[in-house]
Amino acid sequence: MERRLARLLWHRRGWRVRLLAFTSYGVGGGPPGTGWVRVIGRALLTDAPGPEAEMVRGWRRFMTLPLDGVAVEVAVGGHRGTVRTGNGGYVDTTVRVDLSPGWHDMLMSSHHGEPSRTTVRVVGPDERVGVVSDIDDTVLVTALPRPLRAFWNTFARHESTRRPVAGMPDLFRHLRGDGPEPFTAYVSTGPWNLAPSLERFLARHDYPPGPLLMTDWGPTDDRWFRSGRQHKHDSLRRLLSALPGLTWTLVGDDGQHDPALYDDLVAEYPHRVRLVLIRELTPTEQVLTHGTPTTRPGEGAHDRPPTPGVPVLRGPDGAALVRALRGRRA
One-character DSSP codes across 205-254: TTPPP--EEEE--S--SS-SS--HHHHHHHHHHHHHHH-TT-EEEEEEES
Whether 90 and 182 share a structural domain: no
Exposed e or buried b for every residue in 285-310, given b needs 16+ CB within 10 A?
Answer: bbebbeeeeeeeeeeeeeeeeebeeb
Whether 137 and 11 share a structural domain: no
Domain count within the chain:
2
**79-84 and 71-76 beta bridge pairing:** antiparallel
Whether 152 and 32 share a structural domain: no
| Digitized pLDDT (tens) for each residue of the chain, 330 residues in all | 345 444 444 444 556 788 999 999 999 999 999 999 999 999 988 775 554 444 444 444 445 688 888 899 999 998 999 999 998 899 999 999 999 999 999 999 988 778 999 999 999 999 999 999 999 899 998 765 545 444 555 554 566 678 899 999 999 999 998 888 999 999 988 888 788 889 999 999 999 999 999 987 544 444 434 456 888 999 999 999 999 999 999 999 998 789 999 999 999 998 999 999 999 998 777 766 655 565 454 443 444 455 567 999 999 999 999 999 999 876
Whether 197 and 269 share a structural domain: yes
pLDDT for res 329: 74
pLDDT for res 143: 60
**71-76 and 102-109 beta bridge pairing:** antiparallel
pTM of the model: 0.85
Whether 74 and 181 share a structural domain: no
Whether 218 and 304 share a structural domain: yes
Q: Supply the CATH number for residue 87's domain.
A: 2.60.40.10
- Domain of residue 57, residue span: 2-123
